[in-house]
């Protein structure tokens, strides 16, 4: 019996890849990604059977998701009635939009660089002032002004 991957909120990228494989092996990826349609008004026997099978697969997928998250993450999906709902919540919470995340990181990096530059300029200005002051005193001392 293999160990299942556990989402702890920090390992989304690795976890989601492993879960997609598990969903494919268990043949429940369709329910997780698309959910299932409710029965029409006057369903046929075949439609009822199809829905029953879809619900079984959905419950299996939801069970897998529940088994593969830690207690803190579970709290966020505990009230989900379908695997698609749980998956969507996890994706929004931990997956986010990769482009948005990259843009935020770039902005933070730029802010950091600007602050570092300001610090360096300030240090250089102080160093330059100190050197000028030393030069002033040295020259004036040699001249006998001081």
Domain end among 96, 123, 138: 96
Least confidently predicted of 56-60, 64-68, 93-97: 93-97
Q: Look at residue 131 and tell me whether its pLDDT is greater than 80.
A: no
Domain end among 61, 81, 96: 96
Taking the CA atoms of residue 80, residue 32, residue 20 and residue 99 in that order, the dihedral angle to the nearest 10 degrees is -80
Structural domain of residue 68, as residue ranges? 12-96
| Spatial distance between the Cα atoms of 95 and 75, rounded to a whole number of angstroms | 17
pLDDT score for 61: 98
3-state secondary structure the chain: CCCCCCECCCCHHHHHHHHHHHHHHCCCHHHHHHCCCCCCCCCCHHHHHHHHHHHHHHHHHHHHHHHCECHHHHHHHCCCCCHHHHHHHHHHHHHCCHHHHHHHHHHHHHHHHHHHHHHHHHHHHHHHHHHHHHHHHHHHHHHCCC
Residues 120 and 77 in one domain: no
Q: Which has more confidence, 85 or 121?
A: 85
In a domain, 63, yes or no: yes
Residues 84 and 28 in one domain: yes
Residues 85 and 109 in one domain: no
Residues 24 and 79 in one domain: yes
Least confidently predicted of 43-47, 100-104, 109-113: 100-104
pLDDT score for 140: 58
pLDDT score for 1: 45
Residues 136 and 83 in one domain: no
Residues 57 and 112 in one domain: no
In a domain, 133, yes or no: yes
pTM for this model (two decimals) = 0.65
Residues 63 and 26 in one domain: yes
Residues 19 and 86 in one domain: yes
pLDDT score for 143: 59
Q: Look at residue 64 and tell me whether its pLDDT is greater than 50.
A: yes
In a domain, 140, yes or no: yes
Residues 48 and 81 in one domain: yes
In a domain, 7, yes or no: no
Q: Look at residue 78 and tell me whether its pLDDT is greater than 70.
A: yes
Residues 81 and 132 in one domain: no
Count of structural domains, the chain: 2
Q: Look at residue 99 and tell me whether its pLDDT is greater than 60.
A: no
How many C-beta atoms surround the C-beta of residue 104 within 10 A? Answer: 11
Q: Look at residue 52 and tell me whether its pLDDT is greater than 80.
A: yes
Task: Give 11-40 pLDDT, tens digit per residue.
Answer: 999 999 999 999 999 999 999 999 988 899
Write out the two tokens for 13: 């990228």
| Spatial distance between the Cα atoms of 81 and 77, rounded to a whole number of angstroms | 9
Say if residues 43 and 51 touch (Cβ distance below 8 Å): yes
């Amino acid at each position: 019996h293999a160990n299942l991957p556990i989402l702890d909120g920090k390992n989304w990228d690795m976890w989601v890849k492993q879960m997609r494989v598990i969903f494919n092996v268990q043949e429940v990826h369709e329910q997780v990604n698309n959910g299932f349609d409710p029965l029409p008004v006057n369903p046929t026997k075949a439609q009822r059977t199809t829905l029953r099978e879809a619900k079984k697969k959905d419950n299996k997928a939801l069970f897998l998701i529940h088994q593969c998250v830690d207690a803190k993450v579970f709290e966020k999906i505990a009230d989900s009635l379908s695997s698609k709902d749980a998956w969507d919540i996890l994706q929004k919470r931990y997956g986010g939009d990769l482009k948005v995340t990259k843009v935020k990181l770039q902005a933070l990096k730029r802010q950091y660089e600007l602050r570092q530059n300001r610090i360096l300029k300030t240090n250089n200005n102080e160093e330059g002032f100190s050197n000028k002051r030393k030069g002033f005193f040295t020259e004036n001392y040699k001249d006998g002004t001081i």
